[in-house]
Amino acid sequence: MNRSVNKQTQFIDLGLIDYQKAWDHQTDLFNKILAIKSENRNLPDTVQLTTNNYLLFCEHPHVFTIGKSGDEKNLVIPTADLSSIGASYHQINRGGDITYHGPGQIVVYLVIDLENFFTDIHQYMRTLEESVIQTLKEFGVASGRIKGLTGVWLDWNDEKKARKICALGVKTSRWVTMHGLALNVNTDLSYFNHIVPCGIQDKAVTSLKKELSADQKMESVKEILKEKIALQFEMNLQ
């Protein structure tokens, strides 16, 4: 790759947004980056086009999403009953199993060209996790990883007490990413009772609110998380 590396990343807070609308938006950005990369294949090294990067924050109305490798049996509420709890259901093109998104949860979508940063999917996942670990540290909450499982966990070294506070699920194509992570801040955790989160039977979920016994200011958490992501990826946020 001979084009100039672009670490400039446009930050957009989409606010509370319908899941499908947000998915369509990030898909559009994802496809635009891929189109630039396709065009570069036919261009001389000296005139290669720069690819853009986007960091999207949002919250969703109650929704369950399941990845390509997910098992629909992990949705334990009949789909016909979803309207009774005000939730929707989407089968999507990320990796991973089933998860829940809802108000009080920060959902982060990174639509970036990893060739602007580093070309290693394992490193990408660990860097996302580290951004969350460092964010939680600012609130006095210790967190870490469990070998063989994605996401960020509390009491990660205790099999019986381990509980998940952040889920990850990504899609990549030609080093371009979409989807990302979901951090439980003031999340209504009762919605997780309707699924087997990420297909893992024996692990609980938690939130910052639950761990700190108080509602958290979403804007404060967002600001810290945004800073930590930018730091970990060495992004220049716009």
E strand segments, 149-230:
152-154, 163-173, 176-184, 204-205
Q: Are strands 63-66 and 88-91 parallel, antiparallel or unpaired?
A: parallel
From the candidates 111, 198, 225, 229, give the one annotated as an active-site residue.
Answer: 198
Q: Look-up: residue for tokens 């986007």?
A: 54
DSSP code at position 93: S
Nearest to 93 by CA among 117, 66, 60: 66
58 flagged as catalytic:
no
Cβ neighbors of 184 (< 8 A, separation 6 or more) are 104, 105, 165, 166, 205, 206, 207, 208
Query: Which residues participate in catalysis according to the annotation?
Result: 198
